[in-house]
Structure 1
C-alpha cells in the first residue's frame, strides 16, 4: 500500500507538473510529495523528474513510468467499478476531451449528468490533437476519422454543414441563388483554432480561386450562430448546432443544392480488456442521444 501511495503521488505530480498542486490534490504538503518521489526514484534506481526552482518535467524514464502507472491505476479502478456495478449505479470521475463545438453538445451532456449523478464529468474543450493515453483521458470526442491501434472507437453519428442566415438578413440583402452570388453578401467564416486556417465552405461547382468576402472571422462556433441569428451575415454551420434555430425558422438555409458535406463524430477510448461501467454508460448514452431527432 505504501508503494501505491508513492505511485499515486508520482502520477499526480506528473499530471500537474507541480509538487505543490499534487500535494493539494492529495491533502499533504509539497515536501511530502517530493520525499515520496525521491524514495521512489531511489528504489527504482532512475530519475523520474528534472527539477528546477520553478518547474518539474518528466525524464524519458519518467514518461515511460507514467504510462505504466496510469495502466495500473486504470486496472485497479476498473476492478473496483466492476465490483461496484453489482451494488449500484456507475460512479467516479470521467475525464473527457470534447471539441470546441462540444459546447453545443451541452444539452446531451446535461442529460447524461442527470441520468448518472454519481459520475463526475471532467470536461476539456479543445480542438487540438490530444493523446488520450499519455494525457490521462478516459475518452475523447472528435469529428472525422481517427485511426490509432491503441484506441477503441464508436461512431456517434453524422452531421452536415449548412449555409444559413436569418430571414431578416435575406429580406434586406436578397437570397443567393448560386455560389457566385455570395460575393455580394456578408460572410461569417470559421477559423480553425489549431491551424489558424479558414474552414472552406463545401460548395460544389465553384471556381478554385473563388474567395468569400469576410465580414467577421471566428474560431469557435457559438459566436457564428449568435451573429447569424441577428442578421449580420451568412454562416456555414453544422446542422446539430442549429437544429432549434432551423425548426423555429430563426435561421434558414440557402444554396442547399450546392452544399456537399457529410461529417462524422466519434468517441475514442484506450483499448483494454475491460471497459469501466462509467465509460460504458457514457459511450452508450452519447451514441443514443447526441444525434437523436
Structure 2
C-alpha cells in the first residue's frame, strides 16, 4: 500500500473511479444532443435551432450527425432548402419530447420550491371562513407580498375554469382533476351562552332540544337546512328543532348564540376562541357524529405555487393544532 492510498483510507476519501468523469461527460453530451435534436425537429431548421440554442447551424448539424451515428439510424431527410423527419426520426422525437418535458418540469419544480411567495392568490373558501379572519389577517401580516383574492361561497366552484389557485372545502373530494390535501379534522359542536343555559337549562339528551330555541344554518346553494349531526348508538337521530332564526352564514348565528338568543351548531374550529373565553359552552358532545375533514384542493398536474403552499400550510397550522378538550 502506498502512502497516498493509506492517507485516503484514513481520511475516508474516495478515489475516483477510472472513466467516471468520462461517463458523466458522455451522459451530458447525450442530453445535449437530444435537446438539439428536439429543437431542430420542432423548428425544421438547423439555423433556427442554433439561434435558439446560441450555437451555429454547423454545430447543430454536427451534433445531429453524431447522434445519428450513435443510433445507427437517419433522423432527417436533408436538402439544400429544408429538413424533414424520417419515420424513425418522428418516433424518436416523441420519446425525446417527453424526456425534455420531464427535465423542464423538474427544473420548474425546484425553482418554485425556492421562490419567494408573492403575487395574487385566488382562493375559494366556504362561508364559515369569515370566522377564520383572525388567522387570515395573521397570514397577511406574515406574507405582505401576497395579494389575497378571497371568494366565500358554499357552491361547487369549477377550480380550473374559474382560475382558482387553491380551494378549501369540507367533506370528501372525488374530482380526479384535482390534487387534495387534508388540512385537518373538525367536529360539529352545539353551543350556547352561559346566560342562555342559566335561563333555559342545559340539554342532557338530544330530545331535550325540543324545549329549546335553535339558530339554524341554510345552505345558500340548495336552500336546505344543515342537519345537526346527532346520533345515539350509531343510529342517526332526526329531531324537529324549534327554530328562532335562520341564516346562510355561520358567523351571525354564533354571534346571536353569544348574545343568549338560542343554540346553534357550528364547526368547532370556528368557535374555538369563544369556547376558550367561555362566551360559548358546548353541550351534547357524546351524541355528535365522528369528525369531518377540511381539505385544500388545486388542479392536478400542476406544481402548487409557493404562495398557495404557504397559505395551505399556515391555515393547517393555525386552524387545526393539537386537539384541545372542549368545555363540558
Q: TM-score, normalised by structure 2?
A: 0.61
Q: Tell me the equivalent position of 2:124.
A: 97
- Residue 83 of structure 1: how far off its partner (Å): 5.4
Pair 1:188 & 2:215 matched: yes
- Residue 108 of structure 1: how far off its partner (Å): 2.0
CA distance in structure 2 between the aligned counterparts of 1:238 and 1:158, rounded to whole angstroms:
10
Asked if 2 retains the 8 angstrom alpha-carbon contact of 1:97 and 1:140, the reply is yes
Pair 1:229 & 2:258 matched: yes
Residue aligned with 1:216, SS: strand
Q: Tell me the equivalent position of 2:205.
A: 178
Match of 2:316 among 260, 265, 287: 287
- Residue 84 of structure 1: how far off its partner (Å): 7.9
CA distance in structure 1 between the aligned counterparts of 2:307 and 2:197, rounded to whole angstroms:
47
Q: Per chain length, whose mean CA-contact separation is higher, i.e. which structure has more relative contact order (CA < 8 Å, sep 6+)?
A: 1
Asked if 2 retains the 8 angstrom alpha-carbon contact of 1:82 and 1:276, the reply is no
Match of 2:303 among 270, 274, 278: 274
**Gap change, CA 1:273 and 1:221, over 3 Å in 2:** closer
Asked if 2 retains the 8 angstrom alpha-carbon contact of 1:158 and 1:263, the reply is yes
**Gap change, CA 1:155 and 1:85, over 3 Å in 2:** closer
5+ unaligned residues in a row in structure 2: which ranges?
1-103, 323-328
Deviation digits for residues 19-39 of structure 1, max 9, x if unmatched?
A: xxxxxxxxxxxxxxxxxxxxx
Residue aligned with 2:244, SS: coil
Pair 1:263 & 2:292 matched: yes
Q: Tell me the equivalent position of 2:94.
A: none
CA distance in structure 1 between the aligned counterparts of 2:128 and 2:112, rounded to whole angstroms:
34
Q: Tell me the equivalent position of 1:151.
A: 178
Asked if 2 retains the 8 angstrom alpha-carbon contact of 1:158 and 1:262, the reply is yes
Q: How does 1:35-46 map to 2 (within 5 A)?
A: none
Residue aligned with 2:151, SS: strand
5+ unaligned residues in a row in structure 1: which ranges?
1-74
- Residue 207 of structure 1: how far off its partner (Å): 7.9
Q: TM-score, normalised by structure 1?
A: 0.68
Match of 1:219 among 248, 263, 276: 248
Q: Tell me the equivalent position of 1:252.
A: 281
**Gap change, CA 1:85 and 1:161, over 3 Å in 2:** closer
Asked if 2 retains the 8 angstrom alpha-carbon contact of 1:94 and 1:120, the reply is yes
Q: How does 1:28-177 map to 2 (within 5 A)?
A: 89-177=116-204
- Residue 191 of structure 1: how far off its partner (Å): 1.0
Asked if 2 retains the 8 angstrom alpha-carbon contact of 1:160 and 1:261, the reply is yes
CA distance in structure 2 between the aligned counterparts of 1:287 and 1:248, rounded to whole angstroms:
22
**Gap change, CA 1:98 and 1:273, over 3 Å in 2:** closer
- Residue 198 of structure 1: how far off its partner (Å): 0.9
